[in-house]
Structure 1
Amino acid sequence: MATVNGVSSAQSTTSTRWIQLVLGLIAMMSISSPQYGWAFFTKPLQDSLGVQLSALQVTFTILIVLQTFLSPLQGYLIDRFGARLLIATGCLLSGLGWITAGYVTSLTGLYFTYGLFCGIGTGIVYVGVVGLMVRWFPDRRGFATGVVAAGYGFGALLTNTPIYNMINGSGYQHTLIVFGIILGVVGAVAALALRLPTDDDVLPQPTVQVTRVGTPPDQMLRSNVFWLMFVMMTMMSTGGLMIISQFGAFSRDFGVAGVTVFGMAALPLALNIDRITNGLTRPFFGWVSDRIGRENTMAIAFLMEAASVTLMVLFRDNTLVFVLLSGVVFFGWGEIFSLFPSTLTDTFGAKHATTNYGLLYIAQGVGSILGGPLAALLREQTGSWLPVFAIIIAMDALTGILALVALKPMRRAYAAR
């Protein structure tokens, strides 16, 4: 084994890849607030702009649609030109979206600042960092993608309370500008030290059955396995994004948002708990999937999600139980961001991993449309959130079943071919 200054190449690579994981985690944390902090801004934005919730939620949908629908192009550019500058640019664009949103006075302006800049910026960072980690950790894909995906959830945990307090003390405009600057700079600095693995990096062998053939995107799009995964991720994304984007709205409708629990208002407390569980679930279920298989883990997590959403709705009149169950709901949802990219790379190889995941990540954008403005519109038409939750529960249960009865045999047959 080759040595450099007495240190083996394998040892050097081990140190390097863990450093890359930490840097990717920081970059992901810096872009989490545009999505996970959105619920804090819906009420002050509605009051300031004088618009309906369904119209305001288009901002959130633009954010997620641009984050996801452009990800194949962004993934291709990262595969082609490298990760460092593109991911740093994404962090700066995300911060710029918040800064400029602090100055707008119209709904259209919000669409073209918060929606446009944050959407493009977070998309570049998310697909770029995940694409890096599936390459650096062929032996621990589920865990590594779970760790950086956890950063996307945990980042908001560090900022939720300061953002909530600053909105109440200084207004939402000042909050957007201050945190836009901080998060953009922190993310860009971390991203500038990222890189792709090279031929000189000695990486461990995979621990689960994977393909060593790099399937190009056009060939992947012709496979039924990909489209089944796309439908499954869309259904899971719809439910999770509905709860994230509408949490403030339906918790107020249920009468629990302002109730004090453990000396804290229920809404920020629930969102903080949710950030913890939404972060922990990603490396945890990724680690589990590295050991018991991707589809088995999906079935456990997705069926648990269906059960926990059901219980949260049934106990919506009990503020303490509602808050605690919301944490379980996010623990059953956030793992899609470790399970699906690792499953995709296991199936279609690492050579085109970033571009291929960019194509699958579009499912998140479809879910944002269904779970954002369309869910809000259904609430306005029916006068209740219960029909929305009923649809989500059904989709969660169906996805868990499909993991075992459809995805597992189809992936086995695809590998055999």
Structure 2
Amino acid sequence: MTTDKSATLIQASEEPSGTTSEAAGWRTAVASALGLTVGPSVLTVMAFGAFIKPLDREFGWGVSAIGMAASLLSITVMIISPMQGYLVDRYGGRRLILWSSPVFGLSLMAMYFLPDNISVFYLAWALIPVCGLGLWPVAYLRLTAGWFERRLGFALGVANSGIGVGTVLVPLLTAWLIGAFGWRTAFLGLGAVALVAFPVAYFLLAEPNPRKTGVQTNGDTLSVATTRRPFWLILAAFFLLGLVGSSVTVYQIPMLLDAGVSEGVANLVPVALGVALIVARIATGWLLDRFPASLVMGVNLAGGIVAVLLFAAGPNVVTGIIAAALAGLLIGSEFDVLSYLVPRHFGRLSYGKLYGITFSVFQIGGAIAASVVGIVRDTYGSYTPAMLTLAVLCLVCAGLFLSLGPYRYEAAHS
């Protein structure tokens, strides 16, 4: 065992003494929610849009040129997701989180010194997600999953709810920081927020010990999993979910504006999506412990079909709120379902790798949709053709989930 002081610091309190496995498990689930609230899934993706106009005013780079950095961010996440999954399986989630937290926070703070050079800006947004390598969801979800068997779905829902909370709060915080102190200081503030993950991880997260939890860690290797039909069905389903989710989140406000909704009202409608997303995280987790994931996703995808059809029809304020809420229920359920399907169909041996690969495929779908939907709007003068296509894709996606078949690794009975 290494005697390095930093390694000792990170390994300390991995299994808190004086607590039961159940208490440590729920503490880990809540800590994961807190960590994901201030993680890169929120602090990069949800905060990025607020910086576009301030950067354009100061440097004059142009909105579309600045927006290219978001594409670089998505591409980087696609590349590093399988890598993170491998590292989480090999070294454990807690260790990666503790190392990544200060590096990620400092990378955001470094944006305070951004010069008038768009190449440096692009490089920064390619490096920032790498600096947060251990803070993307799979590290937290693998930790949480290791503590639970019978109530696995609900525990994962609690952990995943952190992204929903961050989705609502971080854009508001970012807008306030920019308005009150300027965009440079806003990056310092977001970096400070990111550092919260370190004490949360150090004092609250615990690596599960299978001898104490009774949770089996066996399962398929990655090579074996890729020979099985559910692996490819899940990849295809989450590629389609990436297309649908990205289309709605990116274009919901432009669709409302095209339909004649005022800008002030349109900017408030995404709050309905964010609130529904929080509800969906926890509710989906609870449902997964009681009903097959294919049925849960089938119901949520039916809601997604209604949502995109409402957007296709040209939403007003009321139908726009309904559509955003239904879309939020679908988007909020996606990663609860993924984090549940992996251990149930493939076991926990290669949890990180399988999650990371699927997350990467999901991101590819999202990147494609972000460009294609805009092209369709420019070509036809309307979002309707794209939304009607998404309705069909939701139906196909539901069929993929229903084709998964029974779980191979059922919850152990006490």
Q: Same fold (TM over 0.5)?
A: yes
CA distance, structure 1, for counterparts of residue 366 and residue 59 of structure 2 = 22
Greater shift after overlay, 214-223 or 322-331? Answer: 322-331
Contact 1:39 1:247 in 2 (8 A): no
CA distance, structure 2, for counterparts of residue 294 and residue 403 of structure 1 = 8
How far does residue 395 in structure 1 lie from its aligned partner after superposition? Answer: 1.5
Greater shift after overlay, 377-386 or 150-159? Answer: 377-386
CA distance, structure 1, for counterparts of residue 314 and residue 137 of structure 2 = 35
Is 1:64 the counterpart of 2:64? The answer is no
Q: List runs of 5+ in structure 1 lacking aligned partners.
A: 1-8, 206-211, 261-265
Match of 1:5 in 2: none
Aligned CA distance change for structure 1 residues 40 and 87 (closer, same or farther; 3 Å): same
Is 1:311 the counterpart of 2:330? The answer is no
Tell me which of 252, 259, 262 is aligned to 2:264: 259
Listed as ranges, the matches of 1:114-133 within 5 Å are 114-118=125-129, 121=132, 124-133=135-144
Match of 1:23 in 2: 31
Q: Secondary structure at the match of 1:222?
A: coil
Q: Which amino acid in the other structure matches residue 15 of structure 1?
A: A
Q: Which amino acid in the other structure matches residue 21 of structure 1?
A: A
Contact 1:24 1:148 in 2 (8 A): yes
Aligned CA distance change for structure 1 residues 120 and 238 (closer, same or farther; 3 Å): farther
- Show CA shifts across 1:199-237 (max 9, x none): 4423479xxxxxx74101122122221111001011111
Listed as ranges, the matches of 1:175-214 within 5 Å are 175-181=186-192, 183-193=193-203, 194-203=205-214, 213-214=218-219
CA distance, structure 2, for counterparts of residue 413 and residue 78 of structure 1 = 23
Contact 1:90 1:123 in 2 (8 A): yes
Aligned CA distance change for structure 1 residues 273 and 173 (closer, same or farther; 3 Å): farther
CA distance, structure 2, for counterparts of residue 123 and residue 321 of structure 1 = 39
Aligned CA distance change for structure 1 residues 110 and 125 (closer, same or farther; 3 Å): same
Tell me which of 368, 374, 377 is aligned to 1:376: 374
- Show CA shifts across 1:128-184 (max 9, x none): 011112211122222222222221121232233232233334433332232222x22
Match of 2:404 in 1: 407
Tell me which of 223, 229, 232 is aligned to 2:228: 223
Contact 1:220 1:226 in 2 (8 A): yes
CA distance, structure 2, for counterparts of residue 321 and residue 144 of structure 1 = 33
How far does residue 42 in structure 1 lie from its aligned partner after superposition? Answer: 3.8
Contact 2:93 2:207 in 1 (8 A): yes
Aligned CA distance change for structure 1 residues 49 and 397 (closer, same or farther; 3 Å): farther
Is 1:243 the counterpart of 2:254? The answer is no
Q: Secondary structure at the match of 2:269?
A: helix
CA distance, structure 2, for counterparts of residue 41 and residue 273 of structure 1 = 22
Is 1:162 the counterpart of 2:160? The answer is no
Contact 2:218 2:347 in 1 (8 A): yes
Contact 1:66 1:365 in 2 (8 A): no
How far does residue 52 in structure 1 lie from its aligned partner after superposition? Answer: 6.0
Tell me which of 331, 351, 355 is aligned to 1:333: 331
Match of 1:299 in 2: 298
Contact 1:259 1:319 in 2 (8 A): no
Tell me which of 126, 138, 142 is aligned to 2:149: 138
CA distance, structure 1, for counterparts of residue 409 and residue 208 of structure 2 = 28
Q: List runs of 5+ in structure 2 lacking aligned partners.
A: 1-16
Match of 1:233 in 2: 238
Q: Which amino acid in the other structure matches residue 58 of structure 1?
A: M
Greater shift after overlay, 350-359 or 155-164? Answer: 155-164
Aligned CA distance change for structure 1 residues 197 and 324 (closer, same or farther; 3 Å): same
CA distance, structure 1, for counterparts of residue 117 and residue 404 of structure 2 = 45
CA distance, structure 2, for counterparts of residue 188 and residue 341 of structure 1 = 23
CA distance, structure 1, for counterparts of residue 63 and residue 375 of structure 2 = 9
Aligned CA distance change for structure 1 residues 153 and 116 (closer, same or farther; 3 Å): farther
Is 1:356 the counterpart of 2:354? The answer is yes
CA distance, structure 1, for counterparts of residue 346 and residue 141 of structure 2 = 15
CA distance, structure 2, for counterparts of residue 366 and residue 53 of structure 1 = 22
Q: Which amino acid in the other structure matches residue 162 of structure 2?
A: G
Contact 2:156 2:340 in 1 (8 A): yes
Q: Which amino acid in the other structure matches residue 328 of structure 1?
A: L
Aligned CA distance change for structure 1 residues 213 and 178 (closer, same or farther; 3 Å): closer
Q: Secondary structure at the match of 2:136?
A: helix
CA distance, structure 1, for counterparts of residue 301 and residue 280 of structure 2 = 12
Tell me which of 99, 105, 113 is aligned to 1:95: 105
CA distance, structure 2, for counterparts of residue 348 and residue 357 of structure 1 = 11
Tell me which of 387, 390, 409 is aligned to 2:388: 390
Contact 2:312 2:385 in 1 (8 A): no
How far does residue 313 in structure 1 lie from its aligned partner after superposition? Answer: 3.8
How far does residue 196 in structure 1 lie from its aligned partner after superposition? Answer: 1.9
CA distance, structure 2, for counterparts of residue 362 and residue 250 of structure 1 = 27
Is 1:367 the counterpart of 2:365? The answer is yes
Between the two proteins, the alignment pairs up a number of residues equal to 390
Aligned CA distance change for structure 1 residues 84 and 187 (closer, same or farther; 3 Å): same
Match of 1:4 in 2: none
Greater shift after overlay, 232-241 or 64-73? Answer: 64-73
Q: Which amino acid in the other structure matches residue 279 of structure 2?
A: L
Contact 1:26 1:190 in 2 (8 A): yes
**TM-score normalised over the length of structure 2:** 0.84
Match of 1:271 in 2: 270
CA distance, structure 2, for counterparts of residue 271 and residue 114 of structure 1 = 25
- Show CA shifts across 1:22-64 (max 9, x none): 1111110002232223343344445555456554443223323
Greater shift after overlay, 116-125 or 345-354? Answer: 116-125
Contact 2:89 2:352 in 1 (8 A): yes
Aligned CA distance change for structure 1 residues 202 and 131 (closer, same or farther; 3 Å): closer
CA distance, structure 1, for counterparts of residue 110 and residue 375 of structure 2 = 28
Q: Secondary structure at the match of 1:136?
A: coil
- Show CA shifts across 1:249-300 (max 9, x none): 444444436234xxxxx41x22333222112102211211221111111111
Aligned CA distance change for structure 1 residues 297 and 94 (closer, same or farther; 3 Å): same
- Show CA shifts across 1:92-134 (max 9, x none): 3443443334443344333222343136516643110111122
Aligned CA distance change for structure 1 residues 381 and 157 (closer, same or farther; 3 Å): same
